Structure 1
């Protein structure tokens, strides 16, 4: 549930068209540059971050953390799903963009809360 809510917050942030977090800009830019969806580029970027974690942590990387892989794919799927059904979200002026941006922050925070509360696994630092 937390992943879906986080994906909704992420998509609303993109739809607000006022910018995204620095780490989220990488998948956003690549989704605009290459014929890939935002969800696909997010998956690719997060998988690279997981491999980077493995490389940096080496022996401290716990085998249980491999559960991040299916979580990343699910997160990317949710992003694509929400993007598909949120085509009607198109702010027309700066006020609507600002409200949407603030709403995206609140929704994203709720999603992060649920993800942390579940204490199962976390996405690599991608949001």
Structure 2
């Protein structure tokens, strides 16, 4: 029971860190991660907060999983809804806390961006170690990969590209530009997973042993 409580705590802390990674990427104005790009674009169009749009977006992804997996969808995966709500709240909170941050020079913006990529990579590691439930985007990619026998990495790449393409289209239609699809989007796509993987390979066993999970 103690081990489960520790894993839940780590998972929630991972979501908290992830939210600040998203917030710093937005504040850098150099581009957000592929998954965040769509909620950010829709937020600018509707005026709703990024956190609320993220909650709705993740809910749609859970529904998509249910449609794809049907009887193979596990009840445990409904926890994604609860955790997406927590993540949405954390994201809005992080954006509120960082509202006064408005870096002007490119170097400072780049520091913000790289810090955000590091934080998101660290958060990915913590979510993987906690092993409570997959984040909704990864869970949908996994469902598609398993259902149609497609390599997960390929599904993830196409999912990320789809998010970026839809986000860019929405921004072009309403604002005449591609919004926060910039170099940071590419950097995030290339390195967030790699950083998370590095931590996972290097420190998973140490953390599991230290926390007794």
Same fold (TM over 0.5): yes
| Pair 1:70-2:82 in alignment | yes
Q: Partners in 2 of 1:66 and 1:25 — Cα distance?
A: 24
After TM superposition, give the deviation of residue 113 of structure 1 in Å. 0.9
| Pair 1:103-2:115 in alignment | yes
| Pair 1:79-2:95 in alignment | no
| Greater share of helix | 2
After TM superposition, give the deviation of residue 112 of structure 1 in Å. 1.1
Q: Specify the alignment match of 2:27 in structure 1.
A: 15
After TM superposition, give the deviation of residue 21 of structure 1 in Å. 2.2
What is the DSSP-based 3-state SS (H/G/I as helix, E as strand, rest coil) of the residue aligned with 2:35? coil
Q: Partners in 2 of 1:89 and 1:9 — Cα distance?
A: 14
After TM superposition, give the deviation of residue 108 of structure 1 in Å. 0.6
| Higher RCO (C-alpha 8 Å, min separation 6) | 1
**Cα deviation code 1:65-110 (max 9, x no counterpart):** 1111100000000001111111122111111111111110001111
Q: Specify the alignment match of 2:105 in structure 1.
A: 93
The 5 A counterparts of 1:48-59 are: 48-59=60-71
After TM superposition, give the deviation of residue 18 of structure 1 in Å. 1.0
Q: Partners in 2 of 1:28 and 1:109 — Cα distance?
A: 20
User: What is the TM-score when the length of structure 1 is the normalising length?
Assistant: 0.94
Q: Which runs of 5+ in 2 are unaligned?
A: 1-12, 139-159, 161-213
Q: Which runs of 5+ in 1 are unaligned?
A: none
Number of aligned residues: 127
User: What is the TM-score when the length of structure 2 is the normalising length?
Assistant: 0.57
| Pair 1:34-2:49 in alignment | no
Q: Partners in 2 of 1:76 and 1:94 — Cα distance?
A: 28
